[in-house]
Amino acid sequence: MELLKQRILQDGKCYPGGILKVDSFINHQMDPNLMMELAREMVRIFGRRPINKIVTIEASGIAPAILTGYLMQLPVVFIKKKQPKTMDRMLSAVVHSFTKDRDYTVCISADFLTPADRVLFIDDFLANGNAAKGVIDLCAQAGAKIEAMAFLIEKAFQHGGDYLRSAGVDYTALATVTSLDDCKIELE
């Protein structure tokens, strides 16, 4: 998506270790106008698909997910990164964090992810696909079907895309970073 690509080139910053910092418009400060355009693009791509629920993972997936959910008039559930004592019927999965380089347990209530659900999963980045693997695990536990996954940004030099293709998961990224070598941002 051209608008997102231009914004990444204008305001994105490259960090050692293959990290793209988009703190000024996605991950910390957020640009609601850009976010709404990204959500409209999600609707353009997925609006006719048999999706009845949007699932995301806290925190940075929530903004694009809720705007997409609003436009598609669908419920939005976010997977939690801390396990509340009060959660009923908790489903959990272990995820390795790329940016923090540690494992953590994510959870969702089986009250909000059920065998009746056909899920569109939305997140900010696809890197090695660890968060996506956790979501696949949770949906399998719940008996929910993943209709598709959508990421704002895919880093194609990492292996999340390969994993999702081999697992037969239909996914889309609104912008694809092909290289961050020498701290230079290259997009597809």
Which residues are annotated as part of the binding site? Answer: 20, 27, 127-131, 155
Q: Which of 38, 67, 127, 174 binds ligand 5GP (CB under 6 A)?
A: 127
171 binds ligand 5GP (CB under 6 A): no
Give me 102's structure tokens. 């540690």
Size of the site for ligand 5GP (CB under 6 A): 20
Distance CA 156, CA 169 (A): 16
* One-letter amino acid for residue 27 of the chain: N
**Which SS3 state, helix, strand or coil, does residue 186 take?**
strand
Instruction: Annotate 24-65 with DSSP letters as a single string.
Output: IIIISS--HHHHHHHHHHHHHHHTTS---EEEEETTTTHHHH
Q: Does 56 bind ligand 5GP (CB under 6 A)?
A: no
Site string for ligand 5GP, 6-45 (x = CB under 6 A): -------------xxxx----x------------------
Binding site for ligand 5GP (CB under 6 A): 19-22, 27, 60, 98-99, 123-132, 155, 160
